[in-house]
Amino acid sequence: MERREAVQYIALLLGGTLVGANSFITGCKTADKKDNTTFSQEDVAYLNEVADTILPTTATPGAKAANVGQFMTVMVNDCYEAKDQKIFHEGLKKLDDAADKAYNASFMKLTPQQRHDLLVKVDTEQKEYSKTKKEDDATHYFRMMKELTLLGYFTSEIGTKQARRYAPVPGRYEGCIPYKKGDKAWA
């Protein structure tokens, strides 16, 4: 008996067709993608600085300590469609061009305050763009960067254990816990 027949018999025994049976037969193979890992170490460092400007070090380590730049490159390469990857890559250049236009220097050479001011300006532009964009329009590059920064940081060990309250094995379920102003969110 071949594997395909065995899956079909099992499906019949279970009372119907088996959803996703093809993946059992062929295995979990993804389509071969061209190598689109075009991020250099300089790009990772650049993304770490952008992320650290969004989530800087305060009482807890910032996004740079969590190496969010590396996380962003993996997510863009592995999870984004080609058109979104292109927007993200172009966004790196646009952000550097905006820094050059505003301060006559690349983003990496700006002071922390200049970086902050520039990202606030770009974020304001992004919010305006998001308000007026149509459903088929592309997402703004800075929105992608900001979302990936938050996702990367709060799913990292630093973001989970140091920026939030962490209980690796919580006790019983308590649906209503008093909140005091200034308490960290639960991880």
**Helix H segments across the chain?**
3-13, 21-26, 41-54, 68-79, 82-103, 112-132, 141-154, 157-161
Residue 186, helix vs strand vs coil: strand
Question: How many CB atoms are closer than 10 A to CB 39?
Answer: 20
Q: Is-contact 63 48, C-beta < 8 A?
A: yes
Report the alpha-carbon distance of residue 51 to residue 67 in Å, rounded. Answer: 9
Q: What is the CA radius of gyration of the chain?
A: 22
The predicted pLDDT at position 38 comes to 80
The predicted pLDDT at position 35 comes to 46
Residue 36, helix vs strand vs coil: coil
The predicted pLDDT at position 174 comes to 74
Closest alpha carbon to 106 in 90, 117, 95, 119: 95
Question: How many CB atoms are closer than 10 A to CB 20?
Answer: 8
Grouped pLDDT means (10 residues each) for the chain, 187 residues:
57 50 45 61 96 94 95 95 94 96 96 96 95 91 96 92 79 78 79
Domain ranges, ordered by start, for the chain: 1-30, 41-161
The predicted pLDDT at position 170 comes to 66
The predicted pLDDT at position 30 comes to 46
Q: State pTM to two decimals.
A: 0.73
The one-letter amino acid code at 70 reads Q
